[in-house]
Amino acid sequence: MAGKPALWITRRLSDATLARAARDYEVTINHEDRTWSGDEIVARSADFDAIMPCHSEIFDADVAARLSEHVKIIANHSVGVDHCDLPALKARGITVTNTPDVLSDATAELALLLMLGAARRAVEGDRLVREGRWDSWSPAFMVGKQVSGARLGIVGMGRVGQAMARNARGLGMELHYHNRTRLPEDREHGAIWHESLDSLLAVSDFLSLHCPATPETAGLMNAERLTRLPAGAVLVNTARGALVDEAALLEAIRSGHLAAAGLDCFAHEPGGNPAFAAHENIFMLPHIGSATRRTRDAMGARALDNLDAFFAGKRPRDQM
Ligand code: DGY
């Protein structure tokens, strides 16, 4: 390849990321920071050797089939790759990478915030004070669910799940997890392994989802599984909206079987689920699990490391 590889960065990444990319690549940056449709991605792809997208750009089978043969690598600026049809991209000979590890702490931090906020009625309390409606106090006022000493179930004890376990341990929670295989003891952080998800659900006063969205995990938390949680449980989701059947969640909140939920991910993004807005015991954030300055820089660096390796003829560290 003569000259620097042509790289399309589809969204406005951190300044440090853009500066390094501009130094080492012939870079095209989306300064407007808008999202791109599949047709637009296909139409522009002939100009680039590499694309660095976020989870907001969808590379489904149709896009993969129509991408220009110029594109050699998709170096995702995300750990999740559910927006990429991996077999279809592989069939086209396109390398795909992601950015694991570097966002685990930020995401687990947000899961903690959602868990605490949902349990202690943060949305309701903030609104009351903010809107000048806080006009009395009594011991029976805004009583929530105590987190310390409660049982936390973690679904998916990968990097984020383990970071969540470390956080929750600091709160004095009793930890349980479900993973296909049991982790070595030093990575369990004192959590008790459950071979089956159902067994985990039965003991989870709080349940936090940390597994990827795949065809196998789509709708994982459906009506039946939500019912298996103890009455008054709290569901936390910082992974992907596809893991939760939102109609079933709404019903579990309406019936009072779930005391609350904390959600950073939704089936439809951006936008979320308007039906959730009527319930102050659903604490919602707009998919910002990894949105800290430090983590954004680290995600950009990791994605660029993968690109550098690829164009140096080596296997990228995070090749899928
Ligand atoms: C990820 O990296 O998968 C986060 O959800 C942000 O894209």
142 and 121 together in one domain: yes
How much is the pLDDT for 308? 98
31 and 96 together in one domain: yes
Confirm whether 141 is domain-assigned. yes
Ligand 1 pocket check: which of 11, 13, 35, 79 to mutate, most ligand atoms within 8 Å of Cβ?
79
Give CA–CA dist 114/208, Å, rounded.
10
Indicate which atom in ligand 1 lies nearest the CA of residue 81. Answer: 3
What DSSP state is assigned to residue 132? T
Q: Which residue has the tokens 């049991």?
A: 182
CB burial class (10 A; 0-12, 13-18, 19+) of residue 199? middle
269 and 136 together in one domain: yes
Atom 1 in ligand 1: which residue has the minimum CA distance?
A: 78
Task: Enter the tokens of residue 276.
Answer: 């959730």
Residues having CB closer than 6 A to ligand 1 are 54-55, 78-80, 103, 289-290
Tell me whether residue 70 is one of the annotated catalytic residues: no
246 C-alpha vs ligand 1 centroid, how far in Å?
A: 20
19 and 118 together in one domain: no
Indicate which atom in ligand 1 lies nearest the CA of residue 299. Answer: 2
pLDDT tens string, the chain, 320 residues long: the values are: 679 999 999 999 999 999 999 999 999 998 899 999 999 999 999 999 999 999 999 999 999 999 999 999 999 999 999 999 999 999 999 999 999 999 999 999 999 999 999 999 999 999 999 999 999 999 999 999 999 999 999 999 999 999 999 999 999 999 999 999 999 999 999 999 999 999 999 999 999 999 999 999 999 999 999 999 999 999 999 999 999 999 999 999 999 999 999 999 999 999 999 999 999 999 999 999 999 999 999 999 999 999 999 999 999 999 99
36 and 159 together in one domain: no
80 C-alpha vs ligand 1 centroid, how far in Å?
A: 5
Task: Enter the tokens of residue 175.
Answer: 């930890």
Contact 36, 48 (CB under 8 A): no
What's the full length of the chain, in residues?
320
270 C-alpha vs ligand 1 centroid, how far in Å?
A: 13
CB atoms inside a 10 Å sphere around CB 290: 25
121 and 31 together in one domain: no
Confirm whether 247 is domain-assigned. yes
How much is the pLDDT for 2? 73
108 and 96 together in one domain: no
Ligand 1 pocket check: which of 13, 76, 78, 264 to mutate, most ligand atoms within 8 Å of Cβ?
78
Range of the structural domain that residue 301 is part of = 6-100+293-311
- The dihedral through the CA atoms of 52, 18, 107, 256 has a sign that is negative
219 and 200 together in one domain: yes
Which pTM was predicted? 0.96
CATH code where residue 115 lies: 3.40.50.720
Tell me whether residue 279 is one of the annotated catalytic residues: no
Bridge partners (DSSP) listed for residue 181? none
91 and 110 together in one domain: no
109 and 94 together in one domain: no
How much is the pLDDT for 240? 98
Tell me whether residue 315 is one of the annotated catalytic residues: no
Compute CA 207 distance to the chain's CA centroid, rounded to the nearest angstrom: 15
57 C-alpha vs ligand 1 centroid, how far in Å?
A: 12
Set 174, 251, 269, 280: catalytic member = 269
Task: Return all residues near 280 (Cβ < 8 A) that are at least 6 apart.
Answer: 121, 123, 124, 127
177 and 268 together in one domain: yes
123 and 247 together in one domain: yes
Largest Cα separation within the chain, whole Å, is: 74
Closest by CA to 265, choosing from 205, 213, 198, is 213
CB burial class (10 A; 0-12, 13-18, 19+) of residue 124? middle
